[in-house]
Amino acid sequence: MRNLTLLFLLCLSFLGVAQTTVTEPKNNPTEWSKDYEPFKIVGNLYYVGTYDLASYLIVTDKGNILINTGLADSYSTIKKNIEKLGFNYKDIKILTLTQAHYDHMGAMAQIKKETGAKLYVDEKDAAELKSGGKSDYEMGKYGVTFEPVQPDFLLRNNAKIKLGNTVLTLLHHPGHTKGSCSFLFETKEGNKNYKVLIANLPSIIIDHKFSDVKKYPTIQKDYGYTFEAMKKINFDVWVASHASQFDLHKKRKEGDPYNPKLFMDKENYFKRLKSLEEDYQQKVKEDSAKK
């Protein structure tokens, strides 16, 4: 009888593992996994991601904050980059993200387990984190694409994330995902203060009508809200979820000296935002014509 009970429990355990098997989409751009030299952006903000998947380390006097973790195989790059900059990987106290997609969440669960860091997320992306992306309105078609992870704190628009001498403000920018968000904070270099925006640009990833997205009925309205909100942000320096979105490799070559002015091109931010909004407006127009 005891053997049968053990067998039954083993079967349940196996089924549980099978249900959460992670299948990260293949054939991703090579730039997503390519190594890139970590560097200081401005003040206490550092780039520690891959060639295109941006991960940001914010260093404080009470530990560090890591934003985004790339693909699952980005883990080794991020850890190596943090240590190359002279910081302790285990000093990560807070984890957060700009969007709950596998290319920004892949290594999140592993880093959370190893560091014991607390995970702060926009509340609207909580379900996707817990399901490993399976509940996402579009990417859910691929199943579980990253290891499910339990958030520690659920945040709303303008919520504050505080650690040491740094305060991050979460800006709710839905559309790309239900809980896509950007972050705004102030940093100092010498006697100069900088207001930094880590932007999650609202690109559209569906090729069918907004009204067909039954899992996300407010998607069109949310995109409209986000474009208006992002036009009104006041900042000095900006970066984004992907290096290509803020032209990192056009601005900077590996080994270049520290120069925060490279990332003070507000004109490029508004140009990219305008282009994305034009795509959105064209889609709304085409969707209306299909009725």
Distance CA 98, CA 177 (A): 9
Q: Which amino acid is at 86?
A: G
CATH of domain 34-288: 3.60.15.10
pLDDT for the residue 290:
78
d(CA 58, CA 171): 17
Give the whole-angstrom CA distance, residue 290 versus residue 174: 25
Among 18-32, 92-106, 202-216, 267-281, name the one with the lowest average pLDDT: 18-32
Q: Write the pLDDT tens digit of every residue in 120-169.
A: 999 999 999 999 999 999 999 999 999 999 999 999 999 999 999 999 99
Q: Which of 201, 191, 189, 185 is nearest to 247 (CA)?
A: 201
**Residue 252 contacts by C-beta under 8 Å, 6 or more apart in sequence?**
39, 259, 262
* The pLDDT value given to residue 8: 45
Q: What is the pTM of this model?
A: 0.93
Q: Which residues contact residue 197 at a Cβ distance below 8 angstroms, ignoring those fewer than 6 apart?
A: 182, 183, 184, 233, 235, 237, 238, 239, 269
Q: How is residue 86 written in tokens?
A: 């002279």
Domain residue ranges of the chain, discontinuous segments joined by + = 34-288
- Structure tokens given for 147: 């290891």
